[in-house]
Chain A
């Protein structure tokens, strides 16, 4: 059930994008998201699309896999399109029937918003497809290290995140086992009304919570037994270091951002 989710799951192939420093990919994703909000016309979106295609091509992740990952957010997209299409007022009106009116600005906004969402999600999904969760938290810890000056416990937050991420597959597998154990005793999870379904979850959640708490105490003990004392003076087994490719990618992103800025000035009437 939980195993079928593709969005955000690491895709294990070797590529230039996979080997990049996680900080580069984090910063790149952030820049890409910002660029999507800067663009305001078709030219900008075309540039964003080409850039995304380039990144996907370099990453060796099959485009089919990325499209599959978009499925869970379809609902969100429909809602956004719905609101933009029917609630934006303006001129000229394209279609009007009783209380339903579709205007040209509304249509334009709905399409651009949907495209923006697709780009945004594919772009950030590409980062998680090409970066292991461990590398990602490492990147965040180092990339946000400057916040320590403001007494933000960066290391602790990163550690909590990586532990949480590490527990997701374990708990998902455990939930799967518990679900099967209860199904073997005749439990049914997908029948009946909302209240019956919520009640059916009790035999699943009780053992899951108990197991999660037990695992958490066990892990805390195991960490203390190995003298864990937080981030001060802690060294890394694989310290993050920028390479030549990282510099190249940063340059490419800056160039891309500049292009997007220029595209704002171009107007071709759509």
Chain B
């Protein structure tokens, strides 16, 4: 069970002066149950890349395989694919349109031609999973706050029971509280429901805290890929792509330069704290010994 992109190339307006190569020779396999983050500078092709995964964009050349089947082959059921590979776009305003929150969440499953009871049951379940409060049910989706709209948008996709959930910058424009809520929600979905999460993000902190694997995209190519630890080791290279490493890692590098014996691979605040305390403990011991020697 996997989602696989093979030698995917994508070009806008081929053969005119407006020609633009967006993706170049992309090869990536996403296993079921993975938490993958895709990062890259604005215009690096992230959004185009994820739109290949549920057949919203077809590649100029190359293949996209879902469980080994070519999704652009004749007769492949794209509606089935889009229910299995759910996609939440950056702005919830792009998808909310119904009069009430509940009706909007029902839109996806209804398109799958399920029975009305099944549609309602799935919408209920999605509301619970995403923590959309019950009293929102009859409210208009347009009166909600940014974070709440996003929750409803995610619920609207989850109601289709996807195996893969792709999110394009789900935290953009949210305040810190709303951001953490959305990310924790994703983590919970990943851990409890076993859904693969594919997260496109600018925020190194978000990625370091949540992702198992990172793809770095620059000018349409995958330039780095690996665990957060492996990827964030390339601080200079990342800077060249207009990206940085998490702040915790920056501090660890600075401490190392000052002679502290800390783990420069620490990318999250928790890891950094543990490593600094350990380094201090070591110093404490040596400082104590030095004091004794003086005496």
Contact = CB atoms under 8 A, between A and B. Distances in A.
A211 interface: yes
B112 A186 contact: yes
B210 interface: no
A83 to B, nearest CB: 35
A207 B95 contact: yes
A1 to B, nearest CB: 12
A8 to B, nearest CB: 14
Contacts of B18: 12
Contacts of B54: 184
B86 interface: yes
Contact of A185 (B51, B91, B108, B142): B108
Given A11-B17, A210-B142, A184 B56 contact: yes
Interface residues of A, number: 22
Contacts of B95: 178, 181-182, 185, 203, 207
Contacts of A65: 16
A181 B111 contact: no
Contacts of B94: 174, 177-178, 181, 207, 211
A11 B94 CA distance: 30
B8 interface: no
Interface in B147-177: 156-157, 160
A150 B156 CA distance: 56
Nearest to B91: A177
A13 interface: yes
Interface in B68-111: 79, 82-83, 86-89, 91, 93-97, 107-108, 111
A186 B83 contact: yes
A182 B96 CA distance: 9
A210 B140 CA distance: 13
Nearest to A205: B97
A227 interface: no
A11 B89 CA distance: 31
A180 B95 CA distance: 9
A186 B17 contact: no
Contacts of A160: none
A186 B56 contact: no
A177 B89 contact: yes
B82 A202 contact: no
B142 A186 contact: no
Interface in A160-185: 174, 177-178, 180-185
Nearest to B13: A3
A181 B17 CA distance: 29
A188 B89 contact: no
Interface string A1-42: 000000000011100000000000000000000000000000
Nearest to A206: B97
Contacts of B91: 177
Nearest to A68: B16
A183 B82 contact: yes
A70 B58 CA distance: 27
A203 B54 CA distance: 19
Given A185-B95, A186-B82, A187-B111, A180 B51 contact: yes
Interface of A: 11-13, 65, 174, 177-178, 180-188, 202-203, 206-207, 210-211
In order of increasing CB-CB distance, the 4 nearest A-B pairs are A186-B111, A206-B97, A185-B108, A184-B87
Interface of B: 16-18, 51, 54, 56, 79, 82-83, 86-89, 91, 93-97, 107-108, 111-112, 142, 156-157, 160
29 contacts: A12-B17, A12-B18, A13-B17, A178-B94, A178-B95, A180-B51, A180-B56, A180-B89, A181-B87, A181-B89, A181-B94, A182-B107, A184-B54, A184-B56, A184-B86, A184-B89, A185-B82, A185-B108, A186-B79, A186-B112, A187-B107, A188-B111, A203-B95, A207-B93, A207-B96, A207-B97, A210-B93, A210-B142, A211-B93
